[in-house]
Amino acid sequence: MMRNRMALVALQILVAVVLIGIWHFGSTIKLDWPAISPKPFYPLDPFFFSTPLAVFQRTFNDFYTGVIWYHLGITLLETMLAFVIGAAGGVLIGFWFARKALLAAVFDPYVKMANALPRVVLAPIFALWLGLGIWSKVALGVTLVFFIVFFNVYQGVKEVSPTLLANARMLGMNERQLMRNVFWPSALSWMFSSLHTAVGFALVGAVVGEYLGSAAGLGYRIHQAEGVFDVTGVFSGMLVLAIFVIIIDTVVSAIENRLMVWRPAPASAQG
């Protein structure tokens, strides 16, 4: 098992080494192939592709001088706000709709309509309404997170096992106790099952919002760099974003493992 794991990690690192190697040599070694071009050329022109070294250097510098922390902080704050507000709304409304069939039936077409709308088109509206500060980004993230959590919780509460419900009643639970002991844990478990997706979408909302109009955040940094054809800056921004996502995902997994001990582990994670 241990050896398998080591081998896997080794292979994963190998993939990175090969890709970065191709990028590095492609953007630093000139080829002289008259058949393709009369002048010597870079297979990956550094103007369009930058070089891995430059990207790492820029990223390191950003962290070293500390300019990136402020932008990371802004994006993190927007992501968290979007997630918390969207998830809270999704749980509450999902729960409410699941318990009131008429309400759910009345709002059904509107919910579907709102969910089908590509959220990016809302960004300018939010920017108009809420300005270019963090709240227009939070709003965009909320519209993404809300629906994921809402649908999960709605389904989860509606599909509570009738046997479990009958058992809870026979064990003497009144309506309030049913809420606390059956519906609520069920709703939460469904919310947590969509946690990874929801957090991911919160981040997407934040970054896209920043990209479309803002004065701070990772999306803003990438947009700025792009505006002046600073490809190194764009790649550096993407690298920081990727690291950020991995860290957030690890944290979410840790939270999930703590809260979901009662869940059977997925088959792939066993052994």
Partner 1 sequence: MSRPLSVVQGGRETATRAVSLAGVRIAFPGTGRADAPFVAVDGVDLDVADGEFVAIVGPTGCGKSTLLNATAGLLVPAAGSVSIFGAPLAGLNRQAGYLFQAEALFPWKTALDNVAIGLDVAGTPHEEARARAREWLSRVGLAAFADRYPHMLSGGQRKRVGLAQVLIRDPKILLMDEPFGPLDAQTRQIMGALLLDLWSHDRKAVMFVTHDLEEAIALADRVVIMGAGPASRIIGEWRVPIARPRDMDVRLDAAFHQLHREIWSALKDEVVKGYQQSESVG
Which residues contact partner 1 by CB under 8 A?
161, 163-164, 166-174, 177, 181-182, 185, 189, 261-264
CB of 266 to partner 1, least distance (A): 12
Cα atoms in the Cβ-side hemisphere of radius 13 Å centred on 17: 6
Q: How far apart are CA 142 and CA 72, in angstroms?
A: 19
What radius of gyration do the chain's Cα atoms show?
Answer: 24
Q: How far is the CB of 181 from partner 1 (least distance, A)?
A: 7
Residue holding tokens 């749980």?
A: 91
Could you tell me where the beta strands, DSSP code E, fall in the chain?
A: none
Q: Which is nearer to partner 1, 31 or 166 (CB)?
A: 166
In the complex with partner 1, which residue's Cβ is closer, 115 or 181?
181
Cβ proximity to partner 1, 34 vs 266, nearer residue: 266
Q: How far is the CB of 141 from partner 1 (least distance, A)?
A: 29
Cα dihedral 81, 84, 90, 93 sign: negative
Residue 184 CB, nearest approach to partner 1 (Å): 10
Q: Which is nearer to partner 1, 28 or 181 (CB)?
A: 181
Kindly state the DSSP code that residue 92 receives in the 8-state scheme.
H
Q: State the Cα–Cα distance between residues 91 and 95, nearest whole angstrom.
A: 6
DSSP code of residue 265: P
With respect to partner 1, which residue has the nearer C-beta, 12 or 167?
167
| C-alpha to C-alpha distance for 260 and 251, rounded to whole angstroms | 14
- C-alpha 201/C-alpha 87 separation (Å) is 11
Distance of closest approach, residue 191 Cβ to partner 1, in angstroms: 13
Q: Considering beta carbons, is residue 118 or 264 the nearer one to partner 1?
A: 264
Q: Taking the complex as a whole, how short is the minimal distance between the CB of residue 145 and partner 1, in angstroms? A: 23
CB 137 within 8 A of CB 209: yes
